[in-house]
A and B are shown apart, each in its own frame.
Chain A
Amino acid sequence: MSNYANDKPFIFNGEINVQSINELYGDDYAYIEEVFDTVLKEYELLTNNIIAAYDSKNTPVLKAAVHKIKPIFGFVGLLKVQQQCQQFENTCHSATAFESVVDEFGSLKNSLIKSKSLIEEEKKKLELFNNQRA
């Protein structure tokens, strides 16, 4: 007999592209929780590298640091943030002076902060969801 709790899909935050998550992991929610957990563990180091590059006003290093973090947003379905990273890389690539990336970096930094909170929340929700299914 089908167990209703086991059939119930997880409801992701509206910022997360559910189709992308489904394509990558299907309904393997235990693995999705693992992915979110791994991303959180890497997040601080990756963002610290970005901040350090920004503080040193080194545009190529900043671009490389943003490039490095970019895929993790794809792994957790935050495709808009992934695109924002790509856009910032493009800006860095064409920038002739560090000052020309400052405004866009402010916006990206806000997204990085918000994304971390969102991933943390989703990870907690996934953990609860998976515990209830167990």
Chain B
Amino acid sequence: MSSLACIIVEDLQVAANYLEKCCEKSGQVAVKGHFVNVPDALAYLNENTVDLIFLDVEMPGANGFELLDQIAFSPKVILTTAKKEYAYNAFQYNVSDYLMKPFTYQRFMEALQKIQPSGETVSTNSASDHIYIKADGKLIRLNNDAILYIESMGDYVKFVTADNKRYITHNTIKNLEEKVSKQHFLKVHRSYIVNLHKIDDMRENMLFIKGNEIPVSKANKQDVFKRLNII
């Protein structure tokens, strides 16, 4: 595996030091920074991108998920907490793994092995009017106009179509963002890409598409406004 650029967001010094030591020992992860609170991490991520964030959820001031809401790209995330109540959020935020502190180096390496590039499961050129996805053991053509939105499901994504079908395929929102037609689609949240032509209405931080509620992150809200034909 090539070297991954990461940051550590952790307010417990002993845990951050240990994590940094594990990264160094692995030879696979370059630690670009350690931050003890969300605002400092956010300031860094507004100027820099990373492949991976080791993220403690419970920190003073703001929690880790608030950080993920505010960044404009989609790095892999390994949580350094193990609270069951975070499971739903973790799923929404494409979290690769959890590490319960303290964890062994072996457990750390297991988590790292889950940070793999996604398989090529979508064939498209971004100017095309359709895409092909690998689902149910075959290649399925989806016209852009037929897709309502795409939702992250951990290492998988779900395509939801106008005829109320759902296609699940191995991929990530980050990868798809580059591949789908920019004319039709926009990432509105780290876990969602929507078909701009299918938006029925928007209220505060939610988009509505055929009865489906789609969250809009603070980081992506301005992009949404720019792309909607507001008069």
A interface list, Cβ under 8 A from B: 23-24, 31, 34-35, 38-39, 41-42, 64, 67-68, 71-72, 74-75
Contact = CB atoms under 8 A, between A and B. Distances in A.
Contacts of A39: 14
A38 B17 contact: yes
For chain B, which range describes its interface: under 10, 10 to 19, 20 to 34, or 35 or more residues? 10 to 19
Given A23-B104, A67-B58, A68-B58, A31 B21 contact: yes
B104 A42 contact: no
B102 A71 contact: yes
Given A23-B104, A24-B104, A71 B21 contact: no
A71 B12 contact: yes
B159 to A, nearest CB: 39
B203 to A, nearest CB: 31
B104 A35 contact: no
Given A23-B104, A24-B102, A24-B104, A72 B21 contact: no
Nearest to B14: A38
B19 to A, nearest CB: 11
A34 B12 CA distance: 14
B58 A74 contact: no
B15 interface: yes
13 contacts: A24-B18, A24-B104, A35-B14, A35-B18, A38-B17, A39-B14, A71-B12, A71-B14, A71-B101, A72-B12, A74-B101, A75-B14, A75-B102
Contacts of B14: 35, 38-39, 42, 71-72, 75
- Name the residue among B14, B17, B104 with the largest chain A CB count within 10 angstroms: B14
Interface of B: 11-15, 17-18, 21, 58, 101-102, 104-105
Contacts of B21: 31
Given A67-B58, A68-B58, A74 B13 contact: no
A74 B12 CA distance: 13
A64 B21 CA distance: 27
A36 to B, nearest CB: 9
A38 B102 contact: no
A96 B193 CA distance: 43
A36 B36 CA distance: 20
A65 B101 CA distance: 16
A64 B101 contact: no
A35 B101 CA distance: 14
A71 B15 contact: yes
A75 B13 contact: no
A70 to B, nearest CB: 8
Nearest to A35: B14
B54 to A, nearest CB: 14
A75 B102 CA distance: 6
Contacts of B104: 23-24
A75 B18 CA distance: 9
A119 to B, nearest CB: 11
B58 A64 contact: yes
A72 B12 CA distance: 8
Nearest 10 pairs between A and B by C-beta?
Answer: A71-B101, A74-B102, A38-B14, A75-B102, A23-B104, A75-B14, A39-B14, A38-B13, A42-B13, A24-B102
Contacts of B11: 68
